[in-house]
Structure 1
Amino acid sequence: MDIHRCRFVPFKAAAINAVAFSHPHLAADSKYSRGAPARMAIGRANGDIEIWNPMHGTWLQETTIPGGQDRSVEGLAWVVGDDEELDNNSGSSSANGNKGRPIISHGSLRLFSIGYTNTITEWDLDKGCAKRHASGQHGELWCLATQPKGPAASAQRLVGGTMDGCLALYTTEDDDLRFQRLCRTPKKSVKIVSIAFQTRQLAVAGCSDGTIRVFDIRNGAILHAMTMGRELLAERALSSSGKGNKGGNGGGSAKNVIVWSVRCLPNGDIVSGDSTGQICIWDGTTYTQAQRIQSHTQDVLSLATSADGSSIVSGGMDRRVVLYREIAGQTSRWAKVWHRRYHQHDVKALAAFEAKGVSVVVAGGPDATPVVLPLQKSGFEHHRTLSHLPQTVPVASAPDARLVICWWERRVEIWAFDTTLNEILSDPTADTSDADMLDRNRRLVGRILIKGDANITAAAISPDGSLVVVATINEVKAFQLCKAPSGELVISKVAVPAAVANKGASGAAISPSGRWVALSNGVENHVTVLEALGADSDEETKKITFRAKPSRLSRLRRSIPNHELFSGLGRYDRRVTRLVFSPDSKLLAVGDLAGYIDTWVLRGPNGVSDEASAVDAADGEDGEMVDAPNDDEEEDSDASSDEDSSDAEGGDELDTHANKWVRNPRAKQMPKLSGAPVVLSFSADVPGAPAVAGEAVDTASSTAARDYVLLAVTATSRLFAFNPLRARLVPWLRRLTPANLPLEFRNIRDIAKGVLWQGPRLWIYGTTFLFMVDTSVEPAPASSSAITSSTDKAGASSTALSTPSADPPKRKRKRGDDTGAGGRMTLAGVGPQRVQMVVESAEGGAGEWVDVDMEGTEDKSGDGYDDDSDDSDDSESDSDNGEAASHAQKLLHQQQQHQQQLKHQKKSPRKTRKQQQQEDEEKEADNQLQKHLRSPQPQQPRWWHTFKYRPILGVVPLAAASSSSSSSTSTSGYPSLEVALIERPGWDIDLPLRYGGDER
């Protein structure tokens, strides 16, 4: 596979301003709430709101509610309804799985946000847009909090702090949002910047004048006012005047201390963080200061507490995250445990989440990267950095035209790749070491700006590059691309039917033929399909138009119990997240968050023939029949899914020769996946053509394909492959069972984002990894001793290849041992990972730093994982490839050493003769490696992976891989594949200036 590595997309990661969990402390809540659908919301500076599912530490970014122009999310709050226990007199097995067990109906979830205006917005998670707004006669809202739950049937209120010193109360009863009243302070110049609830009726507010005020929201009275003390104000004044304001951000005069954050412990005590870098513990009964801890060098911006009140976490402007614990044997006395710097800028938001087996704190700030920290097992587990990139890839390509589009906010850019990578490498005059030369290969040829204030939700481009569809939450627009005689790209608008143009969409896909456009919108029970006339014409000047009446393809109605449909997140799980067409544009598949897959086939002159879609129950093939769905997956009796006339509305219904989309006859037999599909993709297999996926390379041309191959990758990294017309699992799926997948793939914590097909090869990529699995290579028998064959090692990453083959096999690390953050710390991870020393230069110059060989001190176990695992991995060996694997291993190891040396050489301003010689040797080693990987091998590796590229925004093909064309087939026997890999590293994020520079 040829890779164009680039960072040219207009992606700008926005700062994290707020983090909120719907159920922060499930472990401490009632028995009913423990099974509630917990979600995390992240608010960003560009107005986007991301909805994450913790999934016991998997952390799936399910959807993103797009923001808009001049919008910002500065605060988030969840309102959770009361759980109810319903009688299960019927003994339905769908309720909790046991007959007679009570049915728990979880309270509905509602999400609210503020953004430096006087308005509170409620968001519709089903549609991904604003549901309602409410505002009052008060200033801008700076903070937001939810009133704790009270007796049953009592509504929760939202309380916001304003810039004019008021508490604004909003009621959420009757599924509405209304302004109720104001609680005022004596001084209008005071700003309320933080708020928390001590009890259901007492609100604690942190103010900009160094005061913490306690309000009774029933009558608006101020019960208590706590100040920081005169000695603290004196220290603040001295620090500001004598030390250049190192202890704060100058958010007021030297007399003022800003209380940026307040939290309340379960015992009623109050914790505050202020602009002096201190946290204060206040007695919740007497409202006096009990303790003061100086833990930050600059302002404390955020706080989080554990459910039992035994831990406090603070984040500040000095990039520190500090953990505090109660001192054993001393009542209400706290001590600082440690501090770390996980972020590149301020730690502006902190939120704790504790559930069964999960105990973490999520931190965020201007560097746009969420960091998950262990709370309960802090010091025993690693932290985990989530991706700042979206789960849905904002990049698409037109392989036939070598065009790539990328979008962000309200802009779409179009890039062209002029020369293939093979032509560049084969040119003797080209300097492949010059990065600028590779950059000049791509050109920005066009830009599309979307009018309005709504950001783009989805975009797509046809494979020939003639049609681009852009969708926002409010409208759908289409553009035609064509080349002018001068060679420039001309962009013109294409009229979209009004029924679709004014409705908006959350997902879009264009068929490979360019004739069909599929649109989805949230949880709607249908998918809209537009037919583009003239899109598949050979005339370059043909104007593309859409048929006036679109088709509506109804999704299968699932028998979901009412207590699930109208509780918790409601129909949010039925939100469509994936749309994909088959290679011949005759089959359409969509997947939702619940794991359901719906498919439709094209009938007509250009559609699937009856012979291809017919099912022979006694065909005798070795494919595994998919079990019929249970009651939860069956269609309602009133759904007319078997009639073709109900599947498509509109179009030329009177013309019997017209193409028409109908539901796949076997759609009801497609099973529900074990998790949300994060990847949905068709292979190149089509009925009547030679099989490609899962077949041996040398026999691919002689095997006839009778069905499509649809691959689904779930959030838990499970792989499923179906023949959708026959509702069967493909025969080669047994090669991709978890037991047969490589250990390196099973240990990857990041979620897959996309997949590319290269004949039978699967190239799966995520934010930090690129993994290849060959579905045509049979795994070795289970009696083998190691899962990683010598062929696998030949294609593995340089890190894996640096391990000698004589080392014992790696053991599978137990998943579920951690509490939702990183993996457990091991003894092997405590030792020195990198030791350097200064070596004097032979020419008498300044000494240089070199790595010290620590091979003798490495852990002799060689696995780096816990030894208490009971199940070890089976392995497979291949003696035919031993010599090739050894040669590739030596080359990759040599290249790794040269790259390590080159990294240190860049620190010296002048290159010595030895350094220049090492650079030449590195180039030679790299050329030998490329020649070896391109040369024919005795047998292709079954899998290969690398972590070299990170973080990956997306990978898109630049040339269509066709196994039937001999000219496009490489010497290895697989179709050639050329892709563009787009990276967006964290250091490329534009960060604002930081206050102060004293970091110790």
Structure 2
Amino acid sequence: MDIHRCRFVPFKAAAINAVAFSHPHLAADSKYSRGAPARMAIGRANGDIEIWNPMHGTWMQETTIPGGQDRSVEGLAWVVGDDEELDYGHGNSSTKGRPVLSHGQLRLFSIGYTNTITEWDLEKGCAKRHASGQHGELWCLATQPKAAAATTQRLVGGTMDGCLALYTTEDDDLRFQRLCRTPKKSVKIVSIAFQTRQLAVAGCSDGTIRVFDIRNGAILHSMTMGRDLLAERAVGSGASSGSAKHVIVWSVRCLPNGDIVSGDSTGQICIWDGATYTQAQRIQSHTQDVLSLATSADGSSIISGGMDRRVVLYREIAGQTSRWAKVWHRRYHQHDVKALAAFESKGVSVVVAGGPDATPVVLPLQKSGFEHHRTLSHLPQTVPVASAPDARLVICWWERRVEIWAFDTSLNEILGDAATDTADADTLDRNRRLVGRIIIKGDANITAAAISADGSYVVVATINEVKAFQLRKTSSGDLAISKVAVPASIANKGASGAAVSPNGRWVALSNGVENHMTVIEAVSPGNDDDKLSFRAKPTRLVRLRRSIPRHELFSGLGRYDRRVIRLAFSPDSKLLAVGDLAGYIDTWVLRGPNGITDEVSATDAADGEDDEMVDVNDEEDSDASSDEDASDAEDDGEANKWVRNPRAKQLPKLSGAPVVLSFSADVPGAPAVAGEPFSSSSQSANPPLARDYVLLAVTATSRLFAFNPLRARLVPWLRRLSPANLPLEFRNIRDISKGVLWQGPRVWIYGTSFLFMVDTSVEPTAASTSTSSTADKANASSSTALTSAPTPSAEAPKRKRKRGDDSGAGSRMEITGLGPQRVQMVVESAEGGVSWVDVDMEDAEEKGEGLGDDDDDGDSDEDSDSDDGEATSHAQKLLHQQQQQQQAKHHKKSPRKTRKQQQDEEKEEKEAAEADKQLQKHLRSPQPQTPRWWHTFKYRPILGVVPLATASSTPSSSSAYPSLEVALIERPGWDIDLPLRYGGDER
């Protein structure tokens, strides 16, 4: 595989301004611990809101709600509805007569330096409603705690004019209620937390912490921080009271026992007694402002983050009431630590930190010091890059801009026989050039984009509209871009996902959780002067109705799990597949002269009668409406129609959300590719023909599934992709896969930090799943096509450590120790030469022996004295001492022990001879063995990998596999534009 390594896309990572969990302390409530849908929301400076699923430490970015022009998210808050126990009686087999718990509805709200609070529709991925009042800009937002009785929660925001704004969320609405004012209008409320359900604690810009009773708006207590004397000395303002600098209370939190924790601009955290409202302790842990705070569920831990890039952990001193001590501090970020949020559930206890460097960092909380931290990707899970292989064009989009790049020459023509890494960087940069740019009007960011394989047109979608643009090459080599009219029924509707078929004739659009897909047909122009057009009537493809209990559809996140996240066309553009967050896959086939013939479908259906796959937990409703034809929008006179796959009901529900959905090159009636030995199928006189398509799905938990959609069964070679047959390096990868490329039977899977290849045509062996040998490590340093075989390792396969061993952050810290190692030293021979000799590293202390026996001490000393006059090196003395030690050990050991050692030595010699024989056989072989798998962690972080040329079925001259040329786009963290940091010269 030839790789163009580049960083040319306009992607700009936005700063993290807010982090919030829907259930911060899930384990603290027994009711919530029974399957509550916990989610994390991250708000960024460009207005984007990312929804993450912790998934017991997997951390999947499920969806991104796009922002817009001049938008920013500065605060986030979740509101959880009331739980309800439902009794379905004894007639429901799924509940077996027992009451089921319907979780409260989750609602997400945000603020952004305006006087408006926005509620977001997670199902559609857009704003649901707005509310504002007669007050200044909102700087902070908090949710009122839930009460034991069934009551609603209110939102309280702090404003820049010193008010607390109260909003009600009753009746699934959002309305402004009233204000709680402070005596001074010049005071800004910059942080807020709830001590009880009715008492709100507000941190202000005048160095005070005020306690409000939100029932009547009264200020019950006011705690003063004093003046910032260090800042006064720094500016030379003297000690006059008129020039005093107030302390800003950037963050406040409340512990379960009622105590208050505050972080201010002096770099200190203060613990206040919740009963007397007096200062109990002050800790100077930061050199600059403390911007964020987080606490554990039991109140035993406090975490602070500040402008000095430090994250500091505090623990309560055992035996001393309300006394705290700093445990440690670390620097995980390249800029300020602006946001902190804690999350604890069964087996998970972490803190998520974020800031202007745009990278979320997951830190262990309860197991701090025993586990590593984990850095999540600052790149989106959905790849914002697509390519037109036939035209060697690549498009990339970010915010409201789409850039089009052209790769003029292939990598083989540029480099010849040279390696990619040895190429001149200027030569590679000149090969790619910006040939076009599209700016989308309006204030909504792009949600999805796609380009046809021949590069003739581009489809761009936002949450409000869908647009299409035709591309034509000019005589100068540039592109002429013109707008194409899109049918009015979808142009003003918007979409969340888009895909173009390989032949460029069909465009598929998805929109959130809608129960149907939209397909429009493109009419290609007769010549270059004609304009592309779309048929006026789009096709509506109805998704299968799933048997989901009503208490799940109307509780928690509702129908959010039915949101479509992946779309894929088959290579011949006759089959369409989509997957949603719940793990369901829907498929449709094209019928007609240009579609799948009835003979092929009938044969496949007959072959699959005995191999039906029906998920017992997801049986289809018997309602006739689920079998309705999905082509109701087509005219009766048209020949080609999209209809539901007859076997679509029998495709099982996946174990997780399909983060990757891709078809192989297998097409019914064509030579089989995936899963078959590629050399035999392509070179034999009668190669085996593919009887069905191959659809590969990779879940968020790195499980691989391969289906035959027309026959609704798993492919026979899927066992080669089972977790037991995959290498340990792939099973230990924590990052989620982002995309797949096919090179004949080879599957190239990539994520943010890895590029992995699995050959589906090679049978797995015990050696293929063992740890990497020396040859594997050598292959991992190369990014070109693989021609050498990995040397089989003699070690036994290692078992993968269970993910449940950690608490959701990084892996557990291992206690390192010195094990048996191979150590060599240089020894001069009598002839004057130099040779390497192995040094025995047997643990003598464990066997009760010292470096030498008492009987040998004198001999060693005499030998040392006699050798003083000779030119004997220190290495020779050590070697002589080791030999004497070995002789003494052999004399002391019993004959039984000696025989066992002899047997072990003979066994080792036999294994070494066999390994040497296999190596010599491999070297004498005219063609190297086909590698089963290959991986590299050289490229990171990877934004996307797209093909630059269509992979033909003809093998290349140097390999039995077709050539594959791709563009790999990286967006490293050091390329993020960071603002100037206060005190940036600090080391």
**Native 8 Å contact 2:772 2:793 kept in 1:** no
1:627: Cα distance to partner? 2.3
Q: Secondary structure, in 3 states, of the residue corresponding to 2:948?
A: strand
2:762 to 777, 802, 823: 777
User: Which amino acid is the alignment partner of residue 628 of structure 1?
Assistant: V
1:409-558 matches, within 5 Å, as 409-426=399-416, 432-534=422-524, 539-558=527-546
Question: Which residue is equivalent to 1:66?
Answer: 66
Question: Which residue is equivalent to 2:388?
Answer: 398
- The change in CA–CA distance for 1:323 and 1:5 in structure 2 (over 3 A counts) is same
Question: Which residue is equivalent to 2:221?
Answer: 224
The separation in 2 between residues aligned to 1:92 and 1:742, in whole angstroms, is: 44
Question: Which residue is equivalent to 1:263?
Answer: 253
- The change in CA–CA distance for 1:268 and 1:153 in structure 2 (over 3 A counts) is same
1:948: Cα distance to partner? 0.1
- The change in CA–CA distance for 1:610 and 1:805 in structure 2 (over 3 A counts) is closer
Q: Which moved more, 1:436-445 or 1:269-278?
A: 436-445
Matched, 1:14 2:14: yes
Q: Secondary structure, in 3 states, of the residue corresponding to 1:816?
A: helix
- The change in CA–CA distance for 1:336 and 1:576 in structure 2 (over 3 A counts) is same
User: Which amino acid is the alignment partner of residue 693 of structure 2?
Assistant: Y
**Native 8 Å contact 1:716 1:751 kept in 2:** yes
Question: Which residue is equivalent to 1:985?
Answer: 972
Q: Secondary structure, in 3 states, of the residue corresponding to 1:440?
A: helix
- The change in CA–CA distance for 1:859 and 1:661 in structure 2 (over 3 A counts) is farther
The separation in 2 between residues aligned to 1:436 and 1:34, in whole angstroms, is: 58
1:617: Cα distance to partner? 6.3
The separation in 2 between residues aligned to 1:976 and 1:804, in whole angstroms, is: 26
Matched, 1:103 2:91: no
User: Which amino acid is the alignment partner of residue 62 of structure 1?
Assistant: E
**Native 8 Å contact 2:81 2:104 kept in 1:** yes
1:61-112 deviation per Cα after TM superposition (whole angstroms, max 9, x unaligned): 00000000000000000000111111131353434xxx23320100000000
Q: Secondary structure, in 3 states, of the residue corresponding to 2:206?
A: coil
**Native 8 Å contact 2:415 2:423 kept in 1:** no
Question: Which residue is equivalent to 1:582?
Answer: 570
Q: Secondary structure, in 3 states, of the residue corresponding to 1:209?
A: coil
User: Which amino acid is the alignment partner of residue 347 of structure 1?
Assistant: V
Matched, 1:238 2:238: no
Q: Secondary structure, in 3 states, of the residue corresponding to 2:27?
A: helix
- The change in CA–CA distance for 1:261 and 1:440 in structure 2 (over 3 A counts) is same
The separation in 2 between residues aligned to 1:651 and 1:772, in whole angstroms, is: 42
- The change in CA–CA distance for 1:812 and 1:629 in structure 2 (over 3 A counts) is closer
Question: Which residue is equivalent to 2:280?
Answer: 290
1:805-846 deviation per Cα after TM superposition (whole angstroms, max 9, x unaligned): 677754432321000000000123999xxxxxxxxxxxxxxx
Q: Secondary structure, in 3 states, of the residue corresponding to 1:762?
A: strand
The separation in 2 between residues aligned to 1:980 and 1:884, in whole angstroms, is: 37
1:253: Cα distance to partner? 6.7
User: Identity percentage over the alignment?
Assistant: 83
**Native 8 Å contact 2:191 2:252 kept in 1:** yes
The separation in 2 between residues aligned to 1:479 and 1:830, in whole angstroms, is: 64
1:437: Cα distance to partner? 1.4
User: Which amino acid is the alignment partner of residue 709 of structure 2?
Assistant: P
The separation in 1 between residues aligned to 2:420 and 2:206, in whole angstroms, is: 65
1:70-89 matches, within 5 Å, as 70-89=70-89
Question: Which residue is equivalent to 1:2?
Answer: 2
- The change in CA–CA distance for 1:522 and 1:449 in structure 2 (over 3 A counts) is same
Q: Which moved more, 1:576-585 or 1:150-159?
A: 150-159
The separation in 2 between residues aligned to 1:256 and 1:616, in whole angstroms, is: 77
**Native 8 Å contact 1:65 1:129 kept in 2:** yes
User: Which amino acid is the alignment partner of residue 104 of structure 1?
Assistant: L
1:794: Cα distance to partner? 6.3
- The change in CA–CA distance for 1:775 and 1:936 in structure 2 (over 3 A counts) is farther
**Native 8 Å contact 1:161 1:192 kept in 2:** yes
**Native 8 Å contact 1:297 1:999 kept in 2:** no
1:791-810 matches, within 5 Å, as 795-797=779-781, 810=798
- The change in CA–CA distance for 1:883 and 1:424 in structure 2 (over 3 A counts) is farther
Matched, 1:171 2:202: no
1:650: Cα distance to partner? 1.9
Matched, 1:139 2:148: no
The separation in 1 between residues aligned to 2:170 and 2:338, in whole angstroms, is: 31
User: Which amino acid is the alignment partner of residue 190 of structure 2?
Assistant: V
1:266-285 matches, within 5 Å, as 266-285=256-275
User: Which amino acid is the alignment partner of residue 402 of structure 1?
Assistant: R
**Native 8 Å contact 2:26 2:32 kept in 1:** no
Question: Which residue is equivalent to 1:317?
Answer: 307
- The change in CA–CA distance for 1:396 and 1:133 in structure 2 (over 3 A counts) is same
1:878: Cα distance to partner? 9.8
1:425: Cα distance to partner? 1.1
User: Which amino acid is the alignment partner of residue 596 of structure 1?
Assistant: Y
User: Which amino acid is the alignment partner of residue 754 of structure 2?
Assistant: F
Question: Which residue is equivalent to 1:872?
Answer: none
Matched, 1:629 2:615: yes
1:594: Cα distance to partner? 0.2
1:335-387 deviation per Cα after TM superposition (whole angstroms, max 9, x unaligned): 00000000000000000000000000000000000000000000000000000
1:207 to 204, 208, 212: 204
- The change in CA–CA distance for 1:449 and 1:997 in structure 2 (over 3 A counts) is closer
1:676-687 matches, within 5 Å, as 676-687=657-668
1:235: Cα distance to partner? 4.2
Query: What TM-score comes out, normalization by structure 2 length?
Result: 0.86
Q: Secondary structure, in 3 states, of the residue corresponding to 1:744?
A: helix
The separation in 1 between residues aligned to 2:841 and 2:41, in whole angstroms, is: 42
1:946 to 936, 945, 954: 936
**Native 8 Å contact 1:884 1:937 kept in 2:** no
**Native 8 Å contact 2:605 2:710 kept in 1:** no
**Native 8 Å contact 1:26 1:34 kept in 2:** no
1:233: Cα distance to partner? 3.7
Matched, 1:194 2:191: yes
- The change in CA–CA distance for 1:559 and 1:882 in structure 2 (over 3 A counts) is same
Gap regions ≥5 residues in structure 2: 820-837, 844-913
1:326: Cα distance to partner? 0.2
User: Which amino acid is the alignment partner of residue 817 of structure 1?
Assistant: D
The separation in 2 between residues aligned to 1:72 and 1:337, in whole angstroms, is: 35
Question: Which residue is equivalent to 1:703?
Answer: 688
User: Which amino acid is the alignment partner of residue 148 of structure 1?
Assistant: P
Question: Which residue is equivalent to 2:631?
Answer: 648
2:722 to 737, 747, 751: 737
1:997: Cα distance to partner? 3.8
Gap regions ≥5 residues in structure 1: 244-251, 832-854, 861-876, 888-934
User: Which amino acid is the alignment partner of residue 201 of structure 1?
Assistant: Q
The separation in 1 between residues aligned to 2:692 and 2:155, in whole angstroms, is: 55
Question: Which residue is equivalent to 2:579?
Answer: 591
Question: Which residue is equivalent to 2:149?
Answer: 152
1:459-478 deviation per Cα after TM superposition (whole angstroms, max 9, x unaligned): 00000000100000000000
Q: Secondary structure, in 3 states, of the residue corresponding to 2:816?
A: helix
Matched, 1:718 2:715: no
- The change in CA–CA distance for 1:43 and 1:617 in structure 2 (over 3 A counts) is closer
User: Which amino acid is the alignment partner of residue 984 of structure 1?
Assistant: R
The separation in 2 between residues aligned to 1:256 and 1:886, in whole angstroms, is: 77
User: Which amino acid is the alignment partner of residue 585 of structure 2?
Assistant: I
Question: Which residue is equivalent to 2:875?
Answer: none
1:700: Cα distance to partner? 1.7
Matched, 1:94 2:91: no
The separation in 2 between residues aligned to 1:256 and 1:816, in whole angstroms, is: 47
The separation in 2 between residues aligned to 1:797 and 1:351, in whole angstroms, is: 38
Q: Which moved more, 1:85-94 or 1:429-438?
A: 429-438
**Native 8 Å contact 1:791 1:885 kept in 2:** no
The separation in 2 between residues aligned to 1:186 and 1:633, in whole angstroms, is: 60
**Native 8 Å contact 1:312 1:323 kept in 2:** yes
